[in-house]
Chain A
């Protein structure tokens, strides 16, 4: 068997797949671009300080801004071009588009296609500390929602003594195929990146988790994975198996405490894009500054998997599609604002068939939200708590355990925006609208 198999969790749904449009299309170079607005704060927080003056020409991979503190990263020019000046752009943050300073580049060079690069660094012989230092020098970020510097993720993982590293290539959401294509075309590099990360982290157990239906496409990763001691796991496509918390539950049989992260149970989850960017920097010395993005949806003129530099205006990629254009997956993504640009967390740009904004009706207590909730929350009771602004009750019912997967909103026959309400409840509880005791109770074990 190519991939070993595991169990599952309660709840979850079968989503329509919708990946056929781009599943077999190879990664293409970006369309011709006239300008980029490279965000200076891809991780949120303080933006990096620009180190070039307007009008200068920069080459690809040249440093254009330097980080002020450890929670930010240096920014590099994704493409060669001329610096126009300082502007603003929005990047996808944890709670929605966040506006940050950006450097505008124009007169851009032709974007290049991804090519296998030569290894210039002997990472196989390097020890843990020098690998970690190398990762820190690369100013890499993670490539998932809630972007953070890779080095700070590593530091947190070490502080919590995490010993399990999981590369999550499930891509459970409809339409998205970016990680799939990356693994198909650059599987070996991804696996090497994972091995580097495992070494830097000091992981004892390394897992590469993929969708059971697609394992045939990843045959060529088997050999390298075996070489680096990475076990490959195939899981069902039931949504949200790809959510980190659920993955850890299935693979390690550990439940993340409400409001916590997978680090709390000793696991680190990364994506294929993380591993690939890490490999490109650590082994080949190539600066990060782009990622593979799926452009798809019923109304996208030219669907495909593109290798896009950071700073492309999202709505430009689907020029003829009317709003809303979606940034990320259709279950957890954001609606693109006009100034949203691609960043590390941009897995996809989707122009899906725009359903009219649903009119919510009264909850009929059908209990489908509860039955399908992967964290077994009584979402309809939580909805009552929301309508009464009763945050104590919501905390008592365990609102902090919500993983914001979007299943409850998807399934709700009354079209209630349940996921959105859950997010607001969680933020209200987290920011102290509920009393500290409730917060503790909501997070903690007993309640």
Chain B
């Protein structure tokens, strides 16, 4: 059979028949799509493990609900529609586990199920399955529940297990603590396993944004002290003594803060990300561009403080405004207090919904990072980093069309030559 000479241009639909022509190359690399998804799932279970440590067995329950419902839904949808790209189950596992990473451990079961429905059906299946979606499916699910269950998810104080109750404690048995100033060594409240504390992101909001933006009341509420009255407002609050003080930044680094069950432990996320980079599943340029842009925006973008007599004071360059030591901590606090690290490592790098070229990925990462930090600083959206990733996912086809490296053998600066008509 002379296969290359007579091969028709149209091939049989892939998954239904074995591919007939066996053509060069006759050797293949061992990595397959399955391996890619399974290894990413494995990497994603590192932050999940950290979540189990800080939020107890309920984290595992949420993760199980997400994975099981994603898998079942995908099977069900495949039975209904026979969408061929939904055949493998590995991407459903991956979507489930990524979705669980963004959800807090205390959510009721139906929130996890609804998030899975949106992730699989709206985020993935109606686009045509693996390889065809536009937005990261897990983030679509997370956005849906953030909109649908604001009371459950966007409430003020979230629980966090005490150090003596990690792994085995029940995160639902939480008690409010007044003067929370750090996690390490602090005993559990009476009759409870967990503290109920304000997530650091929300604390920062109160410190760095005019009260009129957050609370719909009189412009100068008690939450926000006028900058002239006390030097502790803004980045300087990090230097202030307890109880106005934020929890130490080390807590954020190893994950002892309230938040989504996978987004808190930056160390676990970075280790998993390094593994993905080592496996070549993630190009380092994308997460680095993401984090660098977020860092840069947090370091330069103005902090809005309540000035005297209801004016808003704009403090540019918070990195240096109160001294480098405080500024540095403040910027890192901004990075670590939300989902930025998780989004940079796992969500922005989702293969299908990011640009293909390295340069495109850098643009994409810069957009994500800057967008995430701007949303976090100046809007009240509950999931700024994830929203920024979703927004940039929308722009992915545009970036791919616009950023095209020069093909081998073509003229350098071809667009300039075209301008002069040659």
Q: Decide: B406 and A376 in contact? CB cutoff 8 A.
A: yes
Whether A366 lies near B7 (C-beta < 8 A) is: no
B352/A415 in contact, CB under 8 A: no
Prevailing SS type, chain A contact patch: loop
Give the chain B neighbours of A90 by CB distance below 8 A: 2
The answer on a CB contact under 8 Å between A330 and B1 is no
- Distance in Å from the Cβ of A53 to the closest Cβ of chain B? 31
Which of these, A356, A359, A378, A389, contacts B9 with CB under 8 Å?
A: A389
Whole-angstrom CA separation of A326 from B132 in the bound complex: 35
| A67 at the binding interface (Cβ < 8 Å) | no
In chain A, what residue has the closest Cβ to B406? A376
A141 within 8 Å of B by Cβ? no
- Interface membership of B85, Cβ < 8 A: yes
A441 to B32: give the CA distance in the assembly, Å. 35
Residues A410 and B400 in contact, CB atoms below 8 Å apart: no
Asked if A116 is at the interface (CB within 8 A of a chain B CB), the reply is: no
Cβ of A111 under 8 Å from chain B: no
B24/A334 in contact, CB under 8 A: yes
Is B216 an interface residue when CB atoms closer than 8 A count as contact? Answer: no
B33 touches A364 (CB 8 A): yes
Q: CA of A424 to CA of B7 in the docked complex: distance in angstroms?
A: 9
Contact B409 A256 (CB under 8 A): yes
Which residues of B have CB within 8 Å of A424? Answer: 7, 9
Interface residues on A, range: 35 or more
A410 and B14: CB pair below 8 A? no
Cα–Cα distance between A421 and B378 once the two chains are bound (Å) = 49
A177 within 8 A of B: no
Please report the C-alpha to C-alpha distance between residue A398 and residue B21 in the assembled complex, in whole angstroms. 26
Count B-side interface residues using an 8 Å CB cutoff.
57
| Chain B residues near A415 (CB-CB < 8 A) | 28, 32
**Interface check A430, CB cutoff 8 A:** no
Interface string of B1-14 (1 = CB under 8 A from A): 11111010100001
Task: Tell me whether A95 and B5 are in contact in the complex, defined as CB-CB below 8 angstroms, given that A362-B132, A365-B356, A370-B357 are known contacts.
Answer: yes
Q: Is the interface of B mostly helix, strand, loop or mixed?
A: loop
Is there a chain A Cβ closer than 8 Å to B243's Cβ? no
Residues of B near A368 (CB, < 8 A) are: 280
Q: Flag whether A447 is at the interface (Cβ < 8 A).
A: yes
B36 CB–A CB distance under 8 Å: yes
**Do A445 and B24 touch across chains, with their CB atoms under 8 A apart?**
no
B407 within 8 A of A: yes
Q: How far is the CB of A265 from the nearest CB of chain B, in Å? A: 9
Within 8 A of B (CB), among A378-422: 378, 380-381, 389, 397-398, 401, 406, 409-411, 413-415, 417, 419-420
Smallest beta-carbon distance B211→chain A, Å: 45
Which B-chain residue is minimally distant from A254 (CB atoms)? B409
Q: 30 A–B contact pairs at CB < 8 A?
A: A95-B4, A95-B5, A96-B3, A99-B2, A331-B25, A332-B25, A335-B22, A355-B26, A357-B19, A359-B15, A359-B19, A360-B19, A361-B14, A361-B130, A362-B129, A363-B131, A365-B352, A365-B354, A366-B36, A367-B357, A368-B280, A370-B357, A378-B356, A380-B356, A401-B408, A414-B32, A417-B19, A424-B9, A428-B9, A445-B414
Known contacts A375-B408, A378-B357; 12 additional CB pairs below 8 A are A98-B2, A99-B2, A249-B408, A255-B409, A335-B23, A355-B26, A360-B19, A397-B404, A401-B409, A410-B27, A413-B29, A446-B414
Give the A-binding residues of B (Cβ under 8 A): 1-5, 7, 9, 14-15, 18-29, 31-33, 35-36, 84-85, 87-88, 128-132, 280-281, 283, 351-352, 354, 356-358, 400, 404-411, 414, 417-418, 422
